[in-house]
Structure 1
Amino acid sequence: MTDREAAARAEMVESGRSLFDRGLATGSSGNISVRLEDGTILITPTDISLGALDPDAIAKVDAAGAVIGGPKPSKEAFLHRAIYAARPAAQGIVHLHATHSAAISCMAGLSPDDCLPPLTAYFVMKIGRLPLIPYHRPGDERLTDAIMRIAPDHPAMLLANHGPIVSGASLRHAMNRIEELEETAKLFLLLRGSPTSPLTPDQIDDLDATFGAASQS
């Protein structure tokens, strides 16, 4: 095992424990992955709490999904592989069933192209537009087509009646993004029924020009 792989395994354990301890991942829900330099993918095992990961018991798969080490991977490993294929710069992915963003995913009348308003600059900078992916049962690989179509232009997606899945240039980058998404979902629910002032298109353009569009990272 290379030093890079050992470090990635340790980071996955630390990240999973942090998510679990703060209530962002409950029971055995959610999954985390890291893509290594050779294209292989480390991913959390099936039916394991993110708060109880073992660095020596993390699944390792190739780009086609064949298991090349460790226990059985999450049944949603195909989602991670699809996003890595669609986003060559992505090196880390986090998928959660976090309460507030999962609640948004169950709401009727959401725009499939952008299901959370641009309430804060940091949401725009880290997420950009958030598309809603139609419902598929967990583990349904037909979801791959929707992911492959939408992921190239979006680092974050919300799976209907399920939860968010977010990629980043590193696992830490993906962690920061999904936490910002969850906080924005919380703000959205807190503000329901109150007049709000989302950022304007000009303000969003200014953020993109200054910090770079989230879709490109």
Structure 2
Amino acid sequence: MSEQAVRDNLVKWGKSLFERGLTAGSSGNMSARLDDGFLFTPTNSCLGFLDADRLSKLDASGKHVSGDAPTKELPLHFGFYDQRPAACAVVHLHSTYATALSCLSDVDPADAIPPITPYVVMRVGQVPVVPYTRPGSEAVKPLIDALAARHPAVLLQNHGPVVAAASLDAAVFAIEELEEAAKLAVILRGMSVRHLEAGAIAELNQHFKLK
């Protein structure tokens, strides 16, 4: 995919996510890996009104080379890129239900999204909770480094979801599935829920290997 096509795809998906209420105001950020570096959504930008020509371009070392100043969440994104060589996109949102789960004190920190449907297993797998850090803090990088090789998705404590994938389309689809699974988890709290059995999860993991 050409750089211009990647730019246009970031704009397309940003508008779609914003218009469907999956991230509000200037919250959330996205990035994509290029042959010669990375594209990031700019700092304080609204995903619904991105300009393809003003996206932040960074070189392969992470140095800003063109476009508006990049999101402050660079350490978060580079934690995934450094640990997942096949990852070509990272999406971070403040979607309502996934963020709600990230604020609950009794979720499993090793896997905040219970295996209620096959699709959450197929798209995001186990979703650990990353301890709280200030948004944009470099302190998040070692926390992501410790998890990203084994987990393509995490919940930032009291903050929201992050997903890495082999393409921007796949990252968006995965974070949407994570949000839907989080919604189900919140709606079903306190009820007697039938989770997928271990054998079913193993079969899904065998047939739908996450990248």
Instruction: Name the amino acid aligned to 1:22.
Output: R
Equivalent residue for 1:42? 39
Pairs within 5 Å for 1:1-217: 4-38=2-36, 40-212=37-209, 214=210, 217=211
**Cα distance in 1 between the residues matched to 2:102 and 2:122:** 21
Instruction: Name the amino acid aligned to 2:22.
Output: L
Segment of structure 1 superposing worse, 74-83 or 7-16? 74-83
Please state whether the residue corresponding to 1:189 is helix, strand or coil. Answer: helix
Please state whether the residue corresponding to 2:133 is helix, strand or coil. Answer: coil
Alpha-carbon offset, residue 64 of structure 1: 3.2
**Cα distance in 1 between the residues matched to 2:60 and 2:142:** 16
Alpha-carbon offset, residue 63 of structure 1: 3.6
Please state whether the residue corresponding to 1:32 is helix, strand or coil. Answer: strand
Any unmatched runs of 5+ in structure 2?
none
Alpha-carbon offset, residue 16 of structure 1: 0.2
Please state whether the residue corresponding to 1:178 is helix, strand or coil. Answer: helix
Runs of 4+ with >3 A deviation: none
Would the aligned equivalents of 1:43 and 1:59 in 2 still touch at CA under 8 Å? yes
Alpha-carbon offset, residue 65 of structure 1: 2.5
Alpha-carbon offset, residue 136 of structure 1: 0.4
Would the aligned equivalents of 2:31 and 2:89 in 1 still touch at CA under 8 Å? yes
Please state whether the residue corresponding to 1:29 is helix, strand or coil. Answer: coil
Q: What percent of counterpart residues are identical?
A: 47
Please state whether the residue corresponding to 1:56 is helix, strand or coil. Answer: helix
Instruction: Name the amino acid aligned to 2:164.
Output: S
Any unmatched runs of 5+ in structure 1?
none
**Cα distance in 1 between the residues matched to 2:92 and 2:166:** 15
**Cα distance in 2 between the residues matched to 1:49 and 1:119:** 32
Would the aligned equivalents of 1:41 and 1:63 in 2 still touch at CA under 8 Å? yes
Alpha-carbon offset, residue 211 of structure 1: 2.5
Instruction: Name the amino acid aligned to 1:156.
Output: A
TM-score, with length taken from structure 2: 0.97
TM-score, with length taken from structure 1: 0.95
Would the aligned equivalents of 2:75 and 2:137 in 1 still touch at CA under 8 Å? no
